[in-house]
Amino acid sequence: MTRDASAFSPAAPGIDFAGRWLDLSVPRVMGILNVTPDSFSDGGIFSSTGSSAFRIELDRVLAAVERMVAAGAAIIDVGGESTRPGAPPVPAEEELARVVPVVEAIAQRFDVLISVDTSTPDVITAVAKAGAGMVNDIRALLRPGALEAAAATRMAVCLMHMQGEPSTMQLNPQYQDVVAEVAEFLQLRREDCNKAGIPDSRLCLDPGLGFGKTVEHNYQLLARMREFSVSGLPVLAGLSRKSMIGAVTGRPVGERLAGSIAGAVLAVQAGAHIVRVHDVAETVDALKVLAAVKAAG
């Protein structure tokens, strides 16, 4: 699945995770690991019980990672700041305290690629030293200093589109042509990354389902996912348990497994190379069935 990136041509389907090449000739699953008290689906599940302060129980975190790796996750995406609609920003010191020990512990115990969901320059620098291989940034390295921090590392970067900020993004998102506008934004950020010294071999694109989009916008992006892959860069899709699933199924967050799996399969069929999910084992199984159908055809 991963090897020394120097052994591969930049034209090969994949992405360079700080010197480890992830083969994307088959779709890969990214497992979500939120070490936050307030994420929309799984906030607080790794915190101490009976305490008013948010404290991460590292043993519980590592047990969750072990389950995801055993189930077939190629990447573990660690997040220390909730990006749900309406979420407030987290001070850099607090985000560092949440994320760095977790990244270090995963890197020491598991042979798995590690991504960190962050926009903060100091966190980008710290997690690179701790063993992370990718920055998964909802702000596409637009926070002051983030582009320079990422360029100074060897980490891959996932550039995501978001209209507005988490605190305001769902108030009234508007587009003339959501697919064209998202694609243009991501292309401009790609060019800025290239100019800063981050080559295409370290980049992937995420249209940002649920981030400053209506339900209709989200499904337009999902249906036309392949239009982002024509850039030649890998595409990541994240729609697991999101409100776009609840809007069409009528299910609350805890009952969106079937819809989330359907969305992941459709995203891959539409051109996504990586799907970011809460339910790793179930998604891996669904993608195996999809692969068997494609092989039979």
What residues are labeled active site?
242, 276
Cα–Cα separations (whole angstroms), residue 173 to 84, 203, 217 = 15, 26, 9
Cα–Cα distance, 30 to 26 (Å, whole number) = 13
* DSSP of 209-221: TTSS--HHHHHHH
Cα–Cα distance, 48 to 50 (Å, whole number) = 7
Beta-strand relationship, 75-79 and 113-117: parallel
CA angle 13–18–24, rounded 5-degree value: 20
| Residue 56 DSSP label | B
Strands of the sheet with 134-137, listed across from one edge: 203-206, 156-160, 134-137, 113-117, 75-79, 28-34, 274-277, 236-237
CB 108: neighbour CB atoms within 10 A? 10
Cα–Cα distance, 14 to 12 (Å, whole number) = 6
Contact 48, 95 (CB under 8 A): no
